[in-house]
Amino acid sequence: MEVARPLDHLLRHNTWANVTILEFCRGLEPAVLEASAIGTYGTLYGTLQHLVGAEQGYVQLLTGELLGRARIRRDQRHSLDDLLATAKVIGARALMVAATDDVTRRIEMNEGRTSTVGVIFAQLVHHGNEHRTQATTILGANGIAPPPVSGWGYGRAAGISEAEE
């Protein structure tokens, strides 16, 4: 692996964890995707769709590009294959942006609001971890052991770390 740039591992972990949980959920019975847990965002499927849809939006803010097979909308059903494909392409693009962009650059969001690039990356990482946690909470609350999505798991999967939970 090349020398890591500052946000590399955060963004690589985020994409790896998204792919891990989406692939895991793709193997579940369809009824499980409609399960929820009190205090979380919604159903398991709705949480995954929101997770990927929001990242698609964050990367669009950073680049002006809509990436993935289609815009992910809350009121439309997208297959987990579609979400997986979109998660991979936006993850790769986010990594490229982080390597070249300036975290202090200010960009326009919506309704006249602006944000620095750095805060959008912090939000992307926070948001991904937050909703993956809600997905694992739903799995746990419904008696299903979730897949490992920690930074330790990413390090082991990348073959660069021995650390475990």
Partner 1 sequence: MSDLSVPIEYDNWATDKLAGFCAALLPEQRALTTPGTMGTIEATLIHLVGAKERYAASLQGTVPPEDAVRETTTTDLGHVVARAKKLSEWFAGYSRGQIDLDRIIERRGADGSTMHLPVGILIAQFLHHGNEHRAQLGSIFGAHGIDPPHYSAFNWGHELGKVR
Near partner 1 in 91-110, by CB under 8 A? 98, 103-104, 109
Establish if 118 lies at the interface with partner 1 (CB under 8 A).
yes
5 versus 69: smaller Cβ distance to partner 1: 5
Residue span binding partner 1 (CB under 8 A) among the ranges 5-13, 42-50, 69-77, 87-95: 5-13
Return all residues near 114 (Cβ < 8 A) that are at least 6 apart: 106, 107, 108
Residue span binding partner 1 (CB under 8 A) among the ranges 18-26, 61-69, 81-89, 153-161: 153-161
81 versus 164: smaller Cβ distance to partner 1: 164
27 CB burial (10 A radius; 0-12, 13-18, 19+): exposed
In this structure, are residues 83 and 95 in contact, taking their beta carbons and an 8 Å threshold? no
Establish if 61 lies at the interface with partner 1 (CB under 8 A).
no
Establish if 52 lies at the interface with partner 1 (CB under 8 A).
no
3-class DSSP string for 98-163: HHHCCCCCEEECCCCCEEEHHHHHHHHHHHHHHHHHHHHHHHHHCCCCCCCCCHHHHHHHCCCCCC
Which residues form the interface with partner 1 (CB under 8 A)? Answer: 3-10, 12-13, 17, 37-40, 98, 103-104, 109, 113-116, 118-119, 121-123, 125-127, 129-134, 136-142, 149-152, 154-155, 160-164
